[in-house]
A and B are shown apart, each in its own frame.
Chain A
Protein backbone atom coordinates (compact mmCIF):
# COMPACT_ATOMS: atom_id res chain seq x y z
CA UNK A 1 0.00 0.00 0.00
CA UNK A 2 1.03 3.58 -0.58
CA UNK A 3 2.68 5.59 2.21
CA UNK A 4 3.73 9.23 2.16
CA UNK A 5 6.41 10.50 4.51
CA UNK A 6 7.01 14.15 5.27
CA UNK A 7 9.62 15.79 7.41
CA UNK A 8 10.06 17.60 9.53
CA UNK A 9 6.70 17.42 11.30
CA UNK A 10 7.05 20.92 12.74
CA UNK A 11 9.41 23.74 12.00
CA UNK A 12 9.94 27.24 13.36
CA UNK A 13 12.07 29.46 11.17
CA UNK A 14 12.94 33.17 11.23
CA UNK A 15 11.98 35.49 8.40
CA UNK A 16 14.61 35.50 5.69
CA UNK A 17 15.91 32.01 6.42
CA UNK A 18 15.91 29.19 3.83
CA UNK A 19 13.49 26.30 3.78
CA UNK A 20 13.58 22.70 2.63
CA UNK A 21 10.67 20.33 3.14
CA UNK A 22 10.86 16.79 1.92
CA UNK A 23 8.23 14.34 0.82
CA UNK A 24 8.86 10.73 -0.13
CA UNK A 25 6.39 8.16 -1.36
CA UNK A 26 6.49 4.38 -0.93
CA UNK A 27 4.43 1.67 -2.55
CA UNK A 28 3.99 3.23 -5.96
CA UNK A 29 6.10 4.24 -8.93
CA UNK A 30 6.03 7.41 -11.03
CA UNK A 31 3.17 8.98 -9.09
CA UNK A 32 1.84 12.46 -9.68
CA UNK A 33 2.93 14.45 -6.64
CA UNK A 34 1.41 17.61 -5.17
CA UNK A 35 2.37 20.27 -2.62
CA UNK A 36 -0.48 22.08 -0.88
CA UNK A 37 -0.44 24.78 1.76
CA UNK A 38 -3.17 25.42 4.27
CA UNK A 39 -3.10 28.69 6.19
CA UNK A 40 -4.73 28.73 9.62
CA UNK A 41 -8.49 28.19 9.26
CA UNK A 42 -8.29 28.17 5.47
CA UNK A 43 -8.66 25.65 2.67
CA UNK A 44 -5.96 23.92 0.68
CA UNK A 45 -3.99 25.97 -1.80
CA UNK A 46 -2.29 24.01 -4.56
CA UNK A 47 1.32 25.19 -4.81
CA UNK A 48 3.04 22.77 -7.18
CA UNK A 49 2.39 19.48 -8.90
CA UNK A 50 4.68 17.12 -10.73
CA UNK A 51 3.89 14.38 -13.25
CA UNK A 52 7.45 13.04 -13.35
CA UNK A 53 11.11 13.56 -12.51
CA UNK A 54 12.15 17.12 -13.23
CA UNK A 55 8.63 18.14 -14.28
CA UNK A 56 7.17 20.83 -12.05
CA UNK A 57 4.07 22.94 -12.59
CA UNK A 58 3.67 26.03 -10.43
CA UNK A 59 0.22 27.22 -9.53
CA UNK A 60 0.91 30.31 -7.47
CA UNK A 61 3.73 32.79 -8.08
CA UNK A 62 5.60 33.23 -4.83
CA UNK A 63 8.98 32.81 -3.22
CA UNK A 64 8.68 29.03 -3.06
CA UNK A 65 10.04 26.48 -5.49
CA UNK A 66 9.75 22.74 -5.90
CA UNK A 67 11.96 20.04 -7.29
CA UNK A 68 11.60 16.36 -8.03
CA UNK A 69 15.07 14.85 -8.14
CA UNK A 70 13.86 11.26 -7.93
CA UNK A 71 10.70 9.42 -8.90
CA UNK A 72 9.33 9.25 -5.37
CA UNK A 73 10.87 12.39 -3.87
CA UNK A 74 9.35 15.86 -3.94
CA UNK A 75 11.04 18.83 -2.27
CA UNK A 76 9.65 22.25 -1.43
CA UNK A 77 12.18 25.03 -0.96
CA UNK A 78 12.59 28.71 -0.35
CA UNK A 79 15.67 30.90 -0.30
CA UNK A 80 14.13 33.49 2.03
CA UNK A 81 11.02 32.84 4.07
CA UNK A 82 8.28 35.43 4.56
CA UNK A 83 5.84 35.65 7.45
CA UNK A 84 3.07 34.77 4.99
CA UNK A 85 4.76 31.42 4.32
CA UNK A 86 3.53 30.12 7.67
CA UNK A 87 1.07 27.28 7.34
CA UNK A 88 0.46 23.58 7.16
CA UNK A 89 2.25 22.04 4.17
CA UNK A 90 0.87 18.82 2.77
CA UNK A 91 2.29 16.47 0.18
CA UNK A 92 -0.17 14.30 -1.70
CA UNK A 93 -0.31 11.61 -4.35
CA UNK A 94 -3.17 9.82 -6.09
CA UNK A 95 -4.13 6.42 -4.73
CA UNK A 96 -3.27 3.75 -7.27
CA UNK A 97 -4.84 4.36 -10.67
CA UNK A 98 -7.66 6.40 -9.14
CA UNK A 99 -7.69 10.15 -8.75
CA UNK A 100 -8.36 10.31 -5.02
CA UNK A 101 -5.63 12.19 -3.21
CA UNK A 102 -3.77 10.47 -0.41
CA UNK A 103 -2.10 12.97 1.91
CA UNK A 104 1.02 12.78 4.01
CA UNK A 105 1.06 13.79 7.69
CA UNK A 106 2.05 17.37 6.88
CA UNK A 107 4.63 19.88 8.12
CA UNK A 108 3.55 22.72 10.38
CA UNK A 109 5.73 25.72 9.50
CA UNK A 110 5.81 28.83 11.63
CA UNK A 111 7.80 31.79 10.36
CA UNK A 112 8.69 34.25 13.12
Chain B
Protein backbone atom coordinates (compact mmCIF):
# COMPACT_ATOMS: atom_id res chain seq x y z
CA UNK B 1 0.00 0.00 0.00
CA UNK B 2 1.05 3.60 -0.44
CA UNK B 3 3.13 4.92 2.40
CA UNK B 4 4.53 8.35 3.26
CA UNK B 5 7.13 8.82 5.98
CA UNK B 6 8.39 12.06 7.41
CA UNK B 7 11.71 11.23 8.94
CA UNK B 8 11.35 12.70 12.36
CA UNK B 9 8.43 13.40 14.60
CA UNK B 10 10.12 16.50 16.03
CA UNK B 11 13.07 18.68 15.10
CA UNK B 12 14.65 21.35 17.29
CA UNK B 13 17.12 23.82 15.86
CA UNK B 14 18.73 27.13 16.72
CA UNK B 15 17.36 30.34 15.26
CA UNK B 16 19.23 31.38 12.13
CA UNK B 17 20.15 27.85 11.11
CA UNK B 18 18.66 25.97 8.16
CA UNK B 19 15.95 23.47 9.01
CA UNK B 20 15.77 20.42 6.74
CA UNK B 21 12.76 18.13 6.79
CA UNK B 22 12.50 14.86 4.88
CA UNK B 23 9.57 13.15 3.21
CA UNK B 24 9.94 9.63 1.81
CA UNK B 25 7.32 7.59 0.02
CA UNK B 26 6.85 4.05 -1.26
CA UNK B 27 4.49 2.24 -3.62
CA UNK B 28 3.47 5.46 -5.31
CA UNK B 29 4.35 7.49 -8.37
CA UNK B 30 3.03 10.95 -7.58
CA UNK B 31 2.54 13.58 -10.22
CA UNK B 32 3.32 16.23 -7.61
CA UNK B 33 4.32 16.70 -4.01
CA UNK B 34 3.16 19.46 -1.68
CA UNK B 35 4.28 20.90 1.63
CA UNK B 36 1.94 22.42 4.20
CA UNK B 37 2.33 24.21 7.50
CA UNK B 38 -0.03 23.49 10.38
CA UNK B 39 -0.32 25.49 13.58
CA UNK B 40 -1.99 24.02 16.69
CA UNK B 41 -5.79 23.87 16.42
CA UNK B 42 -5.80 25.02 12.80
CA UNK B 43 -6.05 23.36 9.44
CA UNK B 44 -2.94 23.01 7.29
CA UNK B 45 -1.94 25.88 5.03
CA UNK B 46 -0.41 25.23 1.64
CA UNK B 47 3.21 26.34 1.15
CA UNK B 48 4.74 24.85 -1.99
CA UNK B 49 4.04 22.40 -4.77
CA UNK B 50 6.66 20.65 -6.86
CA UNK B 51 5.86 18.51 -9.88
CA UNK B 52 7.48 15.22 -10.83
CA UNK B 53 9.47 16.83 -13.63
CA UNK B 54 10.88 19.54 -11.36
CA UNK B 55 14.00 19.11 -9.27
CA UNK B 56 13.76 22.19 -7.07
CA UNK B 57 11.32 24.95 -6.18
CA UNK B 58 11.94 28.07 -4.09
CA UNK B 59 9.74 30.59 -2.35
CA UNK B 60 11.38 33.25 -0.21
CA UNK B 61 13.24 31.34 2.55
CA UNK B 62 11.73 28.01 1.55
CA UNK B 63 13.24 25.46 -0.80
CA UNK B 64 11.85 22.09 -1.84
CA UNK B 65 13.62 19.36 -3.77
CA UNK B 66 12.03 16.32 -5.34
CA UNK B 67 13.94 13.17 -6.29
CA UNK B 68 11.62 10.65 -7.95
CA UNK B 69 14.43 8.08 -8.15
CA UNK B 70 15.04 8.16 -4.39
CA UNK B 71 11.31 8.75 -3.81
CA UNK B 72 12.18 11.60 -1.52
CA UNK B 73 11.53 15.29 -1.00
CA UNK B 74 13.55 17.64 1.17
CA UNK B 75 12.06 20.83 2.61
CA UNK B 76 14.47 23.54 3.71
CA UNK B 77 13.81 26.71 5.72
CA UNK B 78 16.84 28.98 5.64
CA UNK B 79 17.57 31.63 8.27
CA UNK B 80 14.99 30.01 10.52
CA UNK B 81 12.99 32.12 12.96
CA UNK B 82 10.93 31.23 16.06
CA UNK B 83 7.82 32.13 14.02
CA UNK B 84 8.64 29.18 11.74
CA UNK B 85 7.85 26.81 14.61
CA UNK B 86 4.94 24.62 13.49
CA UNK B 87 4.18 21.17 12.16
CA UNK B 88 5.08 20.65 8.51
CA UNK B 89 3.27 18.08 6.42
CA UNK B 90 4.12 16.64 3.03
CA UNK B 91 1.41 15.39 0.71
CA UNK B 92 1.38 13.41 -2.52
CA UNK B 93 -1.06 13.67 -5.40
CA UNK B 94 -1.45 11.94 -8.72
CA UNK B 95 -3.85 11.28 -11.53
CA UNK B 96 -6.53 10.15 -9.12
CA UNK B 97 -8.29 12.83 -7.15
CA UNK B 98 -7.06 11.86 -3.73
CA UNK B 99 -4.17 13.51 -1.92
CA UNK B 100 -2.34 11.60 0.80
CA UNK B 101 -0.60 13.32 3.71
CA UNK B 102 2.35 12.30 5.82
CA UNK B 103 2.20 12.36 9.61
CA UNK B 104 4.17 15.60 9.85
CA UNK B 105 7.31 16.88 11.53
CA UNK B 106 6.99 19.25 14.47
CA UNK B 107 9.63 21.94 14.06
CA UNK B 108 10.74 24.09 16.99
CA UNK B 109 13.08 27.02 16.48
CA UNK B 110 14.72 28.19 19.70
CA UNK B 111 15.92 31.80 20.04
Contact = CB atoms under 8 A, between A and B. Distances in A.
Contact of A99 (B6, B34, B43): B34
Chain A contact-residue range equals 20 to 34
A43 B97 contact: no
Contact of B101 (A43, A57, A100, A104): A43
A92 B93 CA distance: 14
A7 interface: no
Interface string B46-59: 10010000000000
B98 A46 contact: yes
B109 interface: no
A102 B102 contact: no
Contacts of A42: 103
Contacts of A43: 6, 89, 101-104
Interface in A37-77: 42-46, 49, 51, 57, 59
Contacts, number: 56
Interface residues of B, number: 22
Interface in B2-32: 6, 32
The winner among B41, B97, B103 for most chain A CB atoms within 10 A is B97
Nearest to B102: A43
B60 to A, nearest CB: 17
B107 interface: no
Contacts of B32: 99
A112 B20 CA distance: 39
Interface of A: 32, 34, 36, 42-46, 49, 51, 57, 59, 88, 90, 92, 95, 98-106, 108
Given A43-B103, A45-B101, A88-B41, 12 more contacts: A34-B98, A43-B6, A43-B102, A44-B101, A46-B98, A46-B100, A59-B98, A90-B44, A98-B49, A99-B49, A101-B36, A105-B43
